[in-house]
Structure 1
Amino acid sequence: MTIKDKIEALREELREHNYNYYVLDNATITDYEFDIKLKELEKLEKEHPEFFDANSPTQRVGGGITKNFDTITHKNRMYSLDNSYSKEDLLDWEKRLQKNLGTTEIEYTCELKYDGASINLTFENGKFLRAVTRGDGFQGDDVTTNVKTIKSIPLIPKKDFLLDFEMRGEIILPLDGFNRMNEERVANGEEAYRNPRNTASGSLKLQDSSEVAKRPLDCLLYQVVTNERKYETHYESLEAARNSGFKVPQTIILAKNIDEVLEFVNSWDEKRHDLPYETDGVVVKVNNLLQQEELGYTSKSPRWAIAYKFKAEQVTTVLNEITYQVGRTGAITPVANLEPVHLAGTVVKRASLHNADQIEKLDIRLGDTVFVEKGGEIIPKIIKVDLSKRPENSVATVYATHCPECDTELIRTEGDAKHYCPNEFGCAPQITGRIQHFISRKAMDIDGLGGETVDLLRKEGLIKNYADLYELTKEQVIPLERMAEKSAQNMIDGIKKSKEIPFEKVLFALGIRFVGETVAKKLAKHFKSMDNLMQADFETLIAVDEIGDRIAKSILDFSSNEGNIELVKRLKSYGIQLEVSAESMENQTDKLKGKAFVVSGVFHQLSRNELKKAIEDNGGKVSSSISKKTDFVVAGDKMGPSKLAKAEDLGIAIISEQDFIDMIN
């Protein structure tokens, strides 16, 4: 046996032992025997560096130092899930699925919703390449060096799986390991960690990977993302992943209907407390991958999946004070300041009261004993008041009349739930909030500049609005607290680089009320430039697909404000992209303007996403379900028979993939 063969054989043997121990929980050799073999491999690799392999078992012990975690754009966006809390929510979801798919024959998978840090693992040519955190769903942090130390993740899956793919999962800290870590910290006189989820998430951002290797992190996988059409169902792909060495929990089941889904939910609502890790609900998915493709996504979530949240934990505590926060749009949010109380693994001191109507509805008063729960297990909220414990001298709450920051009288327009501070350009939290929104990842994505620095720049009088950022110099920012020459240069470079951000993101960054990411994309595509948008009248605006009265009025208010007109003029002078670039206009036509398409089935020349993009690039609209408003159905192989029948009943033109390509050419 050659040295190379010996090294390869040792690597393969150690991978198998890792799999048996960390995935199957079935050790086949002792820790001592494993360590002896690992040391033998380390010695051989050191003596023969020409056979180095980044995915060798010896690379799992850590030692690499990461100073800065690079931001990586996800090849496939990581969406969040819609939540449900009742059988009615699930039945409504099922009706939407049946309507969109045109069939009642839908099979589901049920799996536990793990409470940890979401991760995306990329494999190329059958080998582990990169690990990236979820981040904002569009991009996240490269934590490859740290994730390599998690032994349950196979760096080279077994060969009968896919070649190029992504695995989605959750990095968790099992309860036993978490408790052991806390026992050690307390024994060393250190403060205990609050909960496993935050500790797992924080572990991924430690700079020294050898420290990460000491932590008993695990990775539970729940989704395969690939362009290879090797598997027909979600369940089949996970079974194959499990057989290839990935730790896919055995708790996943197939369900034929919502009743079977609820049986799973009710069963695990009881049993979840016996699990070795934390879980806060059940994820229900359409099992058939073709049906998943047909259903597609909303701007935030997949239509083919939903999270059913277990009933939230409740505690009682006392309301000490109501304060008021000012958001970037001037919206006022009342906040309940509570007697600190433990809830779902964290200490809760504050909870949102939403608006004046909510306070009146609950009749909540200072000194009340209140029931608090975590809405969606994340944000604490007050559900009701324990009237039996109300103090005798209790006085009804009077909502604030003036801004807590600038003392401007608050306004509330008809039909609006919230009060607003109208002092847009003179109220400190609004100024800071708008700039923080402007620099955020989904907007201008300015590296080297965070929320605290924005607040500091404003307090020092260096900026009053987001246009001022483009006049900052390194010399101005170096004297700031905790600002060194390199970080000052990074900030200035980040601001300069943001001039390359495309118009649709700039439009979102401007912070026009009700203009979110999706609306900004539609407006950018329709109007092509900021000038065109700001000159549009009400009728022109509401004629744009999905732009209603409220959004149109908000755009008109923004466009007629002298302060905003001046800001946009300044941004243009600094070279910010305030119109659609020539590159993105390439291949854009109005050939399909006013036409609505439904794409259904399997295609061969273009992927489903490429087809949809081609429709939109040529001015058409893509719908998920067939209706009287549909003009064409682009039909591929395996199109659902009920969808086909509906299109024929409505007299809608059914065209092939080639027909469509001919149409746009």
Structure 2
Amino acid sequence: MSEREQNPYLREPPEDLTPVDELDEEGAEREAELLREAIRHHDRRYYVENEPEIADRTYDTLFQRLVDIEESFGLQTPDSPTRRVGGEPLDKLETIEHVAPMLSIQQSGEAADVREFAERMDREVGEVEYTCEPKFDGVSIEVVYTEGVFERAVTRGNGREGDDVSENVRTIRSIPQRLRGEYPGFLAVRGEIFMPRDAFQEYNRERVERGDDPFANPRNATAGTIRQLDPSVTAERPLDCFFYDVLDASREFDTQWEEITTLPEYGLQTNDRAELVSDIEDAIAYRDRLMDEREELNYEIDGVVIKVDDRAACEELGATARHYRWAFAYKFPARAGETAIQDVALQVGRTGRLTPVALLDPVDVGGVTVSRASLHNPAEIREKNVNVGDVVRVERAGDVIPYVDEVVEKRSEGFFEFPETCPVCDSAIERDGPIAFCTGGLACPAQLRRSVQYYASDSGLDIEGLGGERVDQLLEAGLVTESVADLYRLDREDLVELDGWGEKSAENLLAELEGSKSPPLFAFLAAIGIPHVGRATARELASSFGDLDGLMEASEDELQEVDEIGEVVAREIRDFFDSEGNRRVIEELREAGVSPESVERETGDALSGLTFVFTGSLPDRTRSEAQEEIERAGGSVTGSVSGNTDYLVVGEDPGTSKREDAAENDVPELSPEEFEELVGTGEEMDRQDHEESPNQRTLDDAFR
């Protein structure tokens, strides 16, 4: 009976599968082994031979069936394909010595250097053939098999030892857990782990749409993924691998070409662009041809590797302390300034503004690798006639922010048009002049993530212990699903179940949340993400309207009476409070016990015309409270010292630059005690008297 007849899962699986809970132990063990065999077969057909035999959905059915059987009967094995979903998180990556040194390769982008390399080969070992391969731009890896079973995987590291990333590499489907065919008893191979270009662009698109920064290039994405401490994170990311070198084996290989053609027989994927050439001129022609074709490849390469084919000659040539003497990398010139747009993602800001981001083939711009660039807004896209597929010139504004300057080669029809609904929440997209907005408000998941982060940040309510990573945990665990109000429904039992949390951290966060229920009105207004309303504008609104209800009911005309608020900002504020979703969130916050403190609207003029700057912390109040006190008395606070500054308030642990600027501009310093006296009496101190005060002399002595 043939292998296929013995194993029905090598073809379409039967539809009338016995439910897992009705299997006996012997039947489950037999079926699990058949499923493992079938999944390994289909992995090889898909990744190594590029000839899949079953549909993706059928493969997923087989895989899930194996997962269910192994979990129900405790049949997990170290080399099971199910290990690809990731094991337990690691505390750290161990360091392991390589089976054989993983050295670097001499490289150059000049043909003259390549010919010089060949002349040296002719002098030292005579006329040779060369194996030519693409130079992959990924992460080099050593993978070791013993008796055909995956044993470990180690990063290149310093060439002598590297990080043990075995659990992460197990999750990569193109790397077999068990070899096939007539494999050697021991095999250590070198390969390159990479992220395919199409998968990289899709992954970056997802990151942009959920508010994360995209990776700069596929190599960075791969390096960051392969060193994850949680293998389940690696399992979710689309990594692949090509093998190209045998580091050590219990059998002999006579040539490099024999290695490349034999490894697929063991189930190890090699690259189909490798070629065996007779002389260096053919190798140079190979490089030029591959450079012309690089844009068609679904993986990043930055040159070609030219290796002496004969292994005995390689042994004779040996190596230096850093690189092999029998190999040379002929590099491509860096892509500079011009590149193709592979996709356009819409990034949803915390206020709902949609920013179009061009996802690019990585390109060098001013010495920096760029994989995304701003397209600003729909009006600019239309004006520049930009679309997916076009070759564009990328510049960096102020040498910092990349943007698409112009289309240099039109490969598409028309320009990219915004969808009618938000890519994250499907709410309608509305236009306000050249700008597009998601109308989902705080109920939009992308806006929710950013709004929760902002609500808890220093610019919001400054809730300690609720940084970006912890906000992501709460969202991913389903503990925050609707709005920032969900924060006040968290309980200790749910929090302690999260990775990295304990009783103390859970209790601390709950105490911080409880303490944030009576925030100053201005802080609350800044925290809830009203468009164009930062802390300064929030202070003006709080002072003008006194309480939240008054502001929520204010008309556009009334809003425009507030200093620094014009027609556009007034309309944005009014639209924010007119949103049913936003009002619902505010009401939920109130029901959770959040009650912003009303503001005494009476203001004085005792400090009218005086400008203050702070450095260091105050012992009896926060800097924002001090600023509010000054503004109520008619004064103002700025962030830097100039000739227009009247006082520099010097608190604990002050910086030096502001004090130096104060001395240069003859600006007197106030101690915290003198500041309290000044705001308490409203009487301006005489500068000459102040300069001679005992408190000032004491401060000067303390900070010399």
> Scaled by the length of structure 1, what TM-score is found?
0.47
Q: Which has the higher contact order (CA 8 A, sep 6+)?
A: 1
State which structure, 1 or 2, has the greater radius of gyration over its C-alpha atoms.
2
> Scaled by the length of structure 2, what TM-score is found?
0.44
